[in-house]
Structure 1
Amino acid sequence: MRLADFDYHLPEHLIAQFPPERRGASRLLHVENKNLADRMFVELPTLLRTGDVLVFNDTRVVKARLHGQKQTGGQIEVLVERMVGEFEALAQIKASKSPKPGSALVFAGYGAEVVQRDGEFYLLRFNAPVEQVLEAIGKLPLPPYISHNPTGDDAERYQTVYANESGAVAAPTAGLHFDQAMLDQLSKQGVGLHFLTLHVGAGTFQPVRTEEIAQHRMHRERYWLPEATINAIRQAKANGGRVIAVGTTSLRALEASCLQGDFAEPVGDTDIFITPGFQFKVVDRLITNFHLPKSTLLMLVAAFAGHDVMQHAYAHAVACQYRFFSYGDAMLLERAPA
């Protein structure tokens, strides 16, 4: 398939710039084949049953954006992609002229050396632990389509209520809709709540630059699946329950772990690229937000629910003025028949 097959027109005013007043106040579009139902997210428990399992990504967004200068005085913006050691990190750097290996970068009270370049990323060695630097002077890395600077409200709302493992530079946004009251309600209802960790990287916002999508190469992300989550999924499958991934990151980790067999790789780095034709082995339903035109995530949901189904659903969502992207509304997708 070609990149143009995953395009759609989105009026700019439908891009949500702020979260709803409270978690769970978003709309929910239930997509089952071409049958569409307009609901509210608070209705989600009525669409689940005892024995179902929800799998959440418990990654925590770190304050990964840094502003500083090169030793020559030029201004730079650094977005830390991944910590690879206590003092080292892979990062993207915006500068008028790309810094060379060996050059020094200066931040407020801290410094770093450019060790080497690897494609779009630079390996940086800081003069203090990376976590310490980010916590002290970093800023929350809101997505590029959100136009305001991060505020205290963003620090809370661009983070799930169950965020636990620090390391992401973007939130697993489908999880932003859940508040603790809904989690408690689902648990009492007999729905299993289980977790994995996938640290979302900045590559999630990278555009597809090739018209033939098969030529695109995905960024790599690290994931971990606890044994308790694996066991819960196996039990649910054995008893007729459904596995519902909360977000595309949860789905990517689950499916990546089973590429070589039943949870053969519970821990690993994945660059899995899910496009129409992919054979899903784990996930039965997907809760997700609306995705950017021509994005790899739009390709993923088209693979999951069907390309024509997604075209129909997105056209409906635009016509009905749903709110799009990270702070926007949600969908519940049923997996298309194999």
Structure 2
Amino acid sequence: MTLVTDPKAPRVAIVGATGAVGNTLIGLIEQRGLRYRDMRLVASARSAGTELTVDGVAYPVQAVDEFDFSEVDLAFFSAGTEASEKWVPKATAAGAVVIDNTIAYRMDPDTPLVVPQVNAHELDRRPKSGVIANPNCSTIPLVRLLKGVEERWGIRQAVVSTYQAASGLGHPGVEELQDASRASLDHPEEAYPNKEFTPSLAFNVIPKIDRFLDSGFTLEEQKMLQESRKILGIPHLDVTTTCVRVPVVNGHSEAVWIETQGVVDRTELVETLAALPEVTVHDRESPREFPTPATIDDRDQVHVGRVRVNPNNPRAFWLWLVADNLTIGAALNAIQIAEELIARETL
């Protein structure tokens, strides 16, 4: 039980508690033993009155438009960008520190964008905006690896292709993929009515995530560039990305090509990556071992495989990474931010 009477433990709210990331947050709070002295579960008016259990205690879900944020010290927001834009200012004005899991505040200069394994020092002080932004679900595992490479060899550029799961759009995305897949098998001659994915994601891949920009890139691809620069503190970092949605329920994958400033030895590269916090290198013993979204066993780790130094350019290498987008890419990063805030007495 992590519900305590210690006055130093924060009063916590989860906004978007009924969603995929909200459900994952609750599970991680229980699993990791995050200490709190009060818990409030918040969602849209549509979900108000629903009961959810945290650490064996049933809590009614409260409507966000009626919630008093002065009653909490720490608020996790995972209800979508529109909800964050509307309600986060009310939460911070009431004195709560917000950990926001949307794009709304990531590039705000007064809001730190944090991956604790990379830039936890940003949490030494309370942010000027009252908000700590959680990065994009594909940026988080990438920068955790880039940090080690930059420190050892320096990075000239990185080229990334992502393979992102349906759960990136939450429960509705997963449900549509499952329903469309069944419909495609049962009635292949009929078109399934799509809402979340266009065209249908069933037995398909879609090289577009989020909206197109005038540059021809998508917003998702731009996020990965801008966020990587901000988190790593390298304003001219060259990262270019193609983001692809794939018919996988959960777990994002990335093929990453990195060109460094120095010559890379594969054995040293593997050991450097394996020494990073919460990273598992699957081909440490054999280059024939690799992770997949369906086979990773520890969803609190970034999983790496297919580590290959380019024989024609020893300053460049490829790797393959897999990370659970609901944990590593969202809820776990948010929980680890909260743990750091509590440990540093920043709240």
- With the shorter chain as reference, the TM-score category is 0.3 to 0.5
Q: Please identify which structure carries the higher strand content.
A: 1
Q: Please identify which structure carries the higher helix content.
A: 2
**TM-score, scaled to structure 2:** 0.34
Higher RCO (CA < 8 A, seq sep 6+): 1
**TM-score, scaled to structure 1:** 0.35
